[in-house]
Amino acid sequence: MTKAMKIAIVDDEKDMRQSISQWLALSGYDTETYSSAEEALGAVGADYPGIVISDIRMPGMDGIQFLRKLMGNDSALPVIMITGHGDVPMAVEAMRIGAYDFLEKPFNPDRMSELAKKATNARRLTLDNRVLRRELSDGGQLMSKLIGQSPAMERLREDVLDLGQADGHVLIDGETGTGKTLIAHALHAVGSRAGKKFVLISCAAMDEDALMRRLFGPMQPEDTRLPAIEEARGGTLVLEDIESLSDASQARLLSVINDQGTPPETRIVAICNLQDEGRTCETALRPDLYYRLAALKITVPPLRQRGEDILTLFTRFSEQFSDEYGCDSPQVSAQEAAQLLQAPWPGNVRQLINLAERAVLQSRRGTGTIASLLMNDHEDMQPVMTTEGKPLKEYVEAFERMLIDNTMRRHKGSISSVMDELCLPRRTLNEKMAKYGLQRSDYL
């Protein structure tokens, strides 16, 4: 998980870069300012944890030359160019090279903040995916990240193992924040294409011309990579936000799929982020393309259907953030455990990660409760109501399992210490651990 995004501001005019920096800082961004492209290049390299905002007209290395250098180092780095009056041709050239967008002086600060938000979100996704690719070099390690013992997660892991061994194209759908990109990595890592190229493209992050060129070519002189369909040859090409493709783009993709034959040289894993009654992936795509991609399909379950996995995930994420911030994990009360289980979780696992981080930071300050964070996230949520109609017994058992699990982790598997803290005789503790599938060896 990437931390807060930075924004590198490059402009030879001191007043301009300071005013941009101040405005973005007020919007909550961590800004860095540079008076020249040469100076910025020393700090902004591949995997830079943020985005760049740069003027086009600068002495020495101008913005276009600077952009070419940045794209050569990291073609997925979002760069927003600032242009003066009459610089539209230069802005068009910048977009052709790979700029994320441009702002024409005098620009609206709110428009700049809006662009910065979109660009940093895109950058965070790119960096998270790169971390995943580095971490998940083998299927076993990756499968261990698909945490949960709920029936929905058991089925999901079985689907990943089964479909990973197949060669056909795959469609992954599900609500936002459920971990669809992680599933795409898993499909690649557990199959015969593991070790081959894994290329991920966000179809919503580029305009149509740039997307078609990135996917299929033709190559431009300044391009540093092959078209994605060629770059991923023998491996897997993941297309996120497949529903955003235009009709023309869908026709081009279908043609490429048909030309590949069976088994395909490049396996395509399409990720769809539509899940509502008004518009679905099936209605967003032309039927012939949809059925080619959906011959093998995985629907990732929403968090609210995963039962006590919610408590397991919250514990894991809390421990990770506690290690990162150097403090203890927050203690979860029975009431808070019940509320975690009954929350609607529209943002799914991604929302749970954010809540766990805020809970750790809040605990470090010694203020607030998990319940207050939940109520802020779900203003219409009532503390004693459940959304799934579960009996009290299920909440009690889920809390009991979480409590024993947390205590075992804290005491590194020391049965006597856990017995003392929870005031349980050994036989009762053993029975409950067996009931909840907890093994002492997992905590040593």
Q: Model confidence over 175-205: pLDDT tens digits?
A: 989 999 999 998 998 888 888 889 999 998 8
Q: Are residues 295 and 361 both part of a single domain?
A: no
- Above 60 in pLDDT, residue 387? no
Max mean pLDDT range (185-194, 214-223, 295-304) = 295-304
Does residue 89 have a cis bond before it (omega within 30 degrees)?
no
Of 332, 360, 380, which one is at a domain's C-terminal end?
Answer: 380
Q: Are residues 85 and 28 both part of a single domain?
A: yes
Segment (H or E) for 315: helix 309-325
* Separation between Cα atoms, residue 226 and residue 220, nearest integer Å: 10
* Separation between Cα atoms, residue 184 and residue 181, nearest integer Å: 5
Q: Are residues 417 and 349 both part of a single domain?
A: no
Of 134, 161, 185, which one is at a domain's C-terminal end?
Answer: 134
Place of tokens 């600077």: 66
- Above 70 in pLDDT, residue 266? yes
Of 301, 325, 343, which one is at a domain's C-terminal end?
Answer: 301
Q: Are residues 366 and 408 both part of a single domain?
A: no
* Separation between Cα atoms, residue 148 and residue 113, nearest integer Å: 38
Which percentage of the chain shows pLDDT scores above 70? 90
pLDDT at 280: 82
210 pLDDT tier (thresholds 50, 70, 90): confident
47 pLDDT tier (thresholds 50, 70, 90): confident
Q: The domain spanning residue 64 has which CATH number?
A: 3.40.50.2300
48 pLDDT tier (thresholds 50, 70, 90): very high
Of 51-55, 138-142, 375-379, 403-407, which range is least confident?
138-142
On whether residue 385 sits in a domain, the answer given is no
Q: Are residues 74 and 102 both part of a single domain?
A: yes
- Above 90 in pLDDT, residue 411? no
pLDDT at 438: 84
On whether residue 245 sits in a domain, the answer given is yes
pLDDT at 1: 47
On whether residue 238 sits in a domain, the answer given is yes
Q: The domain spanning residue 250 has which CATH number?
A: 3.40.50.300
In which domain, by residue range, is 356 found? 305-380
Q: The domain spanning residue 310 has which CATH number?
A: 1.10.8.60
pLDDT at 236: 93
The tens digit of pLDDT for each residue in 51-93 reads 999 999 899 999 999 999 998 888 889 999 998 877 778 888 8
On whether residue 54 sits in a domain, the answer given is yes
| Alpha-helix runs per DSSP H in 42-176 | 63-73, 88-97, 109-135, 139-143, 151-164
437, 402 Cβ separation under 8 angstroms: no
- Above 90 in pLDDT, residue 335? no
Cβ neighbors of 426 (< 8 A, separation 6 or more) are 415, 419
330 pLDDT tier (thresholds 50, 70, 90): confident
* Separation between Cα atoms, residue 300 and residue 303, nearest integer Å: 9
Q: Are residues 24 and 79 both part of a single domain?
A: yes
Q: What is the tally of structural domains in the chain?
A: 4
Does residue 287 have a cis bond before it (omega within 30 degrees)?
no
Q: Are residues 374 and 278 both part of a single domain?
A: no
On whether residue 113 sits in a domain, the answer given is yes
On whether residue 386 sits in a domain, the answer given is no
Q: DSSP letter string over 395-420?
A: HHHHHHHHHHHHHHHHTTT-HHHHHH
- Above 70 in pLDDT, residue 150? yes
* Separation between Cα atoms, residue 102 and residue 438, nearest integer Å: 55
* Separation between Cα atoms, residue 295 and residue 334, nearest integer Å: 44
Q: Are residues 228 and 335 both part of a single domain?
A: no
Cβ neighbors of 187 (< 8 A, separation 6 or more) are 160, 163, 164, 170, 236, 269, 298
Segment (H or E) for 269: strand 267-271
Which percentage of the chain shows pLDDT scores above 90? 34
Chain centroid to Cα 428, Å, comes to 41
Q: Are residues 154 and 50 both part of a single domain?
A: no
Q: Are residues 156 and 260 both part of a single domain?
A: yes
On whether residue 387 sits in a domain, the answer given is no
- Residue 441: is it exposed, middle or buried by C-beta count within 10 angstroms (0-12/13-18/19+)? exposed
Q: Are residues 95 and 223 both part of a single domain?
A: no
Of 111-125, 299-313, 365-379, which range is least confident?
365-379
Q: Are residues 113 and 252 both part of a single domain?
A: no
